[in-house]
């Protein structure tokens, strides 16, 4: 990943974080990393659902939309990261949880929010 791509990705994550807070999400963590994976954002909604967010950006939709780039391998890594997060934060283990994807396409300033983008079934 080029330095410019990395910077753009970080900017989109910051935009997503700000936007989610405006939507009532209480952000708990940004860039939660373990060996082999990372969760971009982690937050709680008004119903206290623990949400693991993946933020995706595509400069062009010529080769596909950002949401299409959350592969099953990426989903498996996100699920593993979420499991580690829950081990480290056991007070969230009994709360409802879900995986959402926030996407930005091209010059779009408002993100698309895909709730329940995937589940842990089959992993």
pLDDT at 65: 52
Cα–Cα distance between 43 and 32 in angstroms, integer?
12
- For the question of whether the overall pTM of this predicted structure is more than 0.85, the answer is yes
Retrieve residue 50's tokens. Answer: 């623990």
Cα–Cα distance between 24 and 70 in angstroms, integer?
25
Phi, psi of 53 (to 5 degrees): -105, 135
User: Which of these, 86, 105, 87, lies nearest to 97 by C-alpha position?
Assistant: 86
Band (109; pLDDT cuts 50, 70, 90): confident
Residue 87 lies in a domain: yes
Cα–Cα distance between 25 and 108 in angstroms, integer?
21
pLDDT at 110: 84
Contact 10, 99 (CB under 8 A): no
Domain count, the chain: 1
More confident residue, 58 or 78: 78
Please give the mean pLDDT across all residues of the chain.
Answer: 86
Residue 123 lies in a domain: no
Q: CATH number for the domain including 52?
A: 3.40.1350.10
Residue 38 lies in a domain: yes
């Amino acid at each position: 990943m080029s330095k410019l791509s990395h910077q753009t990705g970080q900017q989109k994550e910051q935009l997503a974080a700000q936007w989610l807070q405006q939507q009532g999400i209480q952000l708990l963590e940004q860039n939660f990393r373990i060996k082999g994976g990372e969760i971009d954002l982690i937050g709680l909604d008004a119903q206290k659902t623990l949400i693991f967010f993946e933020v995706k950006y595509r400069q062009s939709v010529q080769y596909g939309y950002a949401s299409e780039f959350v592969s099953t391998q990426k989903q498996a890594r996100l699920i593993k990261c979420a499991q580690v997060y829950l081990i480290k934060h056991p007070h969230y283990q009994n709360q409802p949880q879900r995986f959402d994807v926030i996407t930005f396409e091209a010059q779009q300033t408002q993100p698309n929010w895909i709730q329940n983008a995937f589940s842990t079934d089959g992993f």
